[in-house]
Structure 1
C-alpha cells in the first residue's frame, strides 16, 4: 500500500527494517505522546530504543505513515486482531496522530483511507479504535468517516474501553 495524493503528500505502510521509516515512527509517536491527547509526556529513551524492534515482532502489526515532501507528518499504528462473532480478522487503530502544524489538511482522512484499504485486503470485518471522550475534533472526524460506539443490545448499553496497568 503506497499512494501519492498530491505532489507533496504520500501515504505508505512503514517498513520496520528501513532506518528512515523507523526514525519516522519514533518521531511521530513522540509528537503524539507530547500532545495533551497523547498524555503530554515525551517518550522515554528506553521506549524510543525498543519501539520499532518490538513492533516488528508483533504479528499483524503495521504502521501507516503520511509524509509531505519526505517529512513524516502523520502516523497510524495498527494491529490485526480477530472477531470471534464474525470469524474474521479485524484491524484496531491503536494510535492516530497528525503533527500539529499539519492538522486540518486531510492527512488523517488519507491515513484512514489507507487503513481501510489494508483492512479490506486482509478480509477484515471491521476497524476499531479508541478515542478520549474530550477529544471533540477527533470524534467529529471519526464520526464523519462512519465510526461510532457500538452495542450488541441497546438495553445492555454501549461498549466501554477499560484498562488495568501492569507494572
Structure 2
C-alpha cells in the first residue's frame, strides 16, 4: 500500500475531480449532512477555491486512489496577532478509515501552519461525531475556553440565504 499526502493543485483536473468526489462523499455521509452537493458545486468547487486567498486543501491518495481531504482557510488571531489555519472539512473515504490517513493529513496541515507562522489550528466537530472527536483529541485538539468558569466556545451560524 502506497500513501501520498500532498497539497491539492486546484487547477489540476485530477486533483479538482478528487476534491469534488471526496467532498461529495463527505456531504452524503450522515456526519456531513446526508445530502449530496449540487452538480454546480461539484463542478466549480476547485476553481472557486483557487480564487480564495489563503485557501488550501490537503489530499490523501492510497494506491493512487483519492482517500482523504482536508480543506483549510487562513484566518487571524487578534489576541496573538498571528495567523491561524481553520480546518473546515476533514473527510476520509470509508474504505480507507483506520489506516491513519487523517493523522497523516493533519500532520501536513500542521507543517504548513508552522511554515506560515500560525499560532494555532482550529476546527469544528459535531457533538455526535465521537469518532472524529477522539481522533482530534489524539492529535492534540481540545475544546476552546478562556476561563473554565465561562465554559467552552460554541460554534454558531446564521445562514444568509
Supply the distance in 2 between the matched residues of 1:151 and 1:30 (Cα, whole angstroms): 32
Over aligned residue pairs, what C-alpha RMSD do you find?
Answer: 0.8
Q: Shift of the alpha carbon at 1:50?
A: 2.0
> Where does structure 2 lack aligned partners over 5 or more consecutive residues?
none
Instruction: State how far apart, in whole Å, the 2-side matches of 1:84 and 1:57 are.
Output: 25
2:64 aligned with 1:70: yes
CA distance in 2, matches of 1:34, 1:93: 19
Q: Which of the residues 23, 29, 35 maps onto 1:29?
A: 23
Specify the alignment match of 1:51 in structure 2: 45
Q: How does 1:75-154 map to 2 (within 5 A)?
A: 75-154=69-148
- Could you list the structure 1 runs, at least 4 aligned residues long, displaced by more than 3 angstroms after superposition: none
TM-score normalised to structure 2 length? 0.98
Matched residue of 1:46: which SS? Answer: helix
Aligned residues: 161
Q: With the length of structure 1 as denominator, give the TM-score of the two structures.
A: 0.94
Which sections of structure 1, spanning at least 5 residues, go unmatched? 1-6
